[in-house]
Amino acid sequence: MKTHHVLLAATALVAIAGCAKKRPPVLPPPPEQTGQATEAPPPGPVGGAFRPGSAEDFKRSVQSDTVHFSVDQYDIDPEARAILDGQATWLARYPQARVTIEGHCDERGTREYNLALGDRRANAAKNYLAAKGIDPARMTTISYGKERPSALGSDEESWAQNRRAVTVVLN
């Protein structure tokens, strides 16, 4: 019977020891301050407002982060020009901001066709922004084809919403 109590006590001690807090390793000293910030402030609201140059600021400052296209098209129409002009103005104001421009298609057509069309759409938006003075090195493109619809449905309204190029600010 005593062996049973000793065994229970030993098990309890092992369980408690496993829960004990371990001392944190000694951390290296923080980097020396040179008068310049070494990191950007965290994204999100600062004092009730969004940090200038952040993805949230972009979405709140521009007319839209998305331009839409006609069926099987990748040309920049007047409505898309107005949206991209606003994006170019914002990007010129924040030269440190980098973006990815995503090309998307509706569900019709083959996967390969839609990936190629999505690429042409993303590059059309990128080329327009570059023509407005935005450094192409700040912009990358990716095509998702029909893989990431914004609207579910097999009707003209859904398809029209899915034929798009989306500018995403990278924080």
CA distance 54 to 154: 35
Per-residue pLDDT reduced to its tens digit, 98-119:
999 999 999 999 999 999 999 9
Q: Strand runs (DSSP E) across 43-133, as ranges?
A: 45-46, 49-50, 66-68, 98-104
CA distance 91 to 88: 5
Per-residue pLDDT reduced to its tens digit, 38-86:
444 554 555 557 799 999 999 999 999 999 999 999 999 999 999 999 9
Domains of the chain: 65-171 (3.30.1330.60)
pLDDT in the model for residue 35: 45
In which band, very low, low, confident or very high, does the pLDDT at 165 lie, cut at 50, 70 and 90? very high
Q: What is the pTM of this model?
A: 0.72
Q: Give the C-alpha distances (Å, rounded to integers) separating 72 from 30, 101, 105, 160.
A: 54, 18, 9, 11
Query: Are the C-beta atoms of residues 76 and 88 closer than 8 Å to each other?
Result: no
Q: Is the dihedral of CA 88, 94, 98, 104 positive or negative?
A: negative
In this prediction, residues 151-159 reach a mean pLDDT of 96
Per-residue pLDDT reduced to its tens digit, 5-15:
555 555 555 55
